Amino acid sequence: MGGQAFAHLQTDPPIHVPRLSPETYQQVAATITSKLETLFNRVTIPREAPGKPDFGDIDFIVEGARDPYDKNILATVKKLLEAEYLVDHSFAIRHPSVPGAYIQVDVELSPRSGTEDGAALFEWTKFMKSDADLLQIVGVVHRSLGLTCNDKGLHVRVEEVQAYNKKKSMIFLTRYPNEAMDFYGYDKAKYYEGFQDEGELFDWATNGRWFYWKVYEDREEVSNDRARMNKRAMFRRFVHDYMPSCGKGTTGPKKSEEIDTDARKANPQRQLVLEEALRTFNKREEYDALMLEHKTKGVEDALWLQISNSIPLQDAARGTTLKGLRRWVAFKNGLPYITEQPIAGSQKLKWTDHITDNTMSDVLTWVAENREQIRKMEEDRANEARNAALRK
């Protein structure tokens, strides 16, 4: 948090957290690393932004508590570090050389710590948080291709499903940094060597196989990232200072034979990226299942649109009627009937499993003949539920 975690605390005198020199940063980081290693199996500090002259805080990622029965690990860390204040996962420890001052130490437990996936997610989290805004930049310049990095790993989004369910549209690809960098077409050796300055970092981020240098000529893309630019200085410099001059100078690794698009001149087709992702990470079966579900949903939605359109627009209780049809109607031998008890949400029927093109007109006639009864049953159910809630 850049040394600002304690700014809101009302203390006398106020908590003073000065910027740290590289020497003090390294000294305190080494001491705290040794202490944290007595509590956790894995301890690391994500790599800082290149060329940073001083530091606002020290960020640690930890994984695998050595004592799995410690129910308040943050309190244990606070005691171990002799911290005087704790806000969320930020600890205020005494500055070793500035009287009355503090150092902010952030200790973040990596996702699924202590589980089978803990070690891999620890390395992925370190990758995500290293070099300041690097992975945010990588994410943005590949966003239009459906590639997404989050705290669980690299994913590809299926465009058809993304239109109505962003979370469901994601197919997990990998949580191993090397595999992700290989797919992006990045120079792994250069990444592990580190970047001397922001220019090197920006060059690296824009020399992957999929990079499209005109991404920020789209005004909508710029607008979507305005909040990020206001908060993240490196990201802002990438957009305003680097991107306008970027393009002809970027030369990515040789494209695969299957993907021969020149990413410096035209945006690669999203479908090509999807196909290679499915092939590279063996995700075809998962994709096919998702698309089958998507197509089934489309057919079901179309059926309900037809039913909805069969109810007069001037019917004020149209919405209640549609809810009632879903809750009070079942099928036997392809014919609808009204149930005695409401159908539980987990057991809601897919009407497309019971209706064919040949029976659709008969079902619509049945709906017209029974909708008033179904509407009344749904209204009574809703009123009874409302009254029961008021009595509690």
pTM of the complete model: 0.79
> pLDDT value at position 82?
97
| Helix 118-129, helix 177-184: angle, nearest 10 | 50
Q: What are the percentages of helix, strand and coil residues in the chain, rounded to 5?
A: 50, 15, 40
For CATH 3.30.460.10, list the domain ranges present in the chain.
Answer: 22-120
As a whole number, mean pLDDT of residues 220-238 equals: 76
Give the pLDDT confidence score for residue 210 in this predicted structure: 87
Interval 38-44 mean pLDDT: 98
The pLDDT assigned to 222 comes to 56
**What percent of the chain has pLDDT above 90?**
68
CB within 8 Å of 163: residues ≥ 6 apart = none
Q: Is the model more confident about 317 or about 153?
A: 153
Domain 22-120 fold is Beta Polymerase; domain 2 (3.30.460)
* pLDDT at residue 116 greater than cutoff 70: yes
Output the pLDDT for position 163.
Answer: 85
pLDDT, residue 258, reads: 40
Q: Residue 229's pLDDT is what?
A: 77
Confidence check: pLDDT of 252 > 80: no
> Which one has a higher pLDDT value, 202 or 211?
202
Q: Is the pLDDT of residue 253 over 70?
A: no
State yes or no: pLDDT of 216 exceeds 60: no
Question: Of the spans 83-92, 263-272, 303-312, which averages the highest pLDDT?
Answer: 83-92
Poorest-confidence range of 133-137, 250-254, 311-315? 250-254
Q: Quick check: 219 pLDDT over 70? A: no
**d(Cα 179, Cα 280) in Å, to the nearest integer?**
10
d(CA 167, CA 181): 23
66 pLDDT more than 50: yes
Quick one: angle between helices 318-328 and 360-391, nearest 10? 100
* 259-275 tens-digit pLDDT: 344 444 445 578 999 99
pLDDT for residue 190: 97
Burial class of residue 133 (count of CB atoms within 10 Å of its CB; 0-12, 13-18, 19+) = buried
> Taking all residues of the chain, what is their mean pLDDT, rounded to a whole number?
89
pLDDT tens for each residue of 283-295: 999 999 999 988 8
The CA distance from 330 to 343, in Å, is 8
| Residue 358: pLDDT band with limits 50, 70, 90 | confident
Q: Mean per-residue pLDDT for 335-361?
A: 89
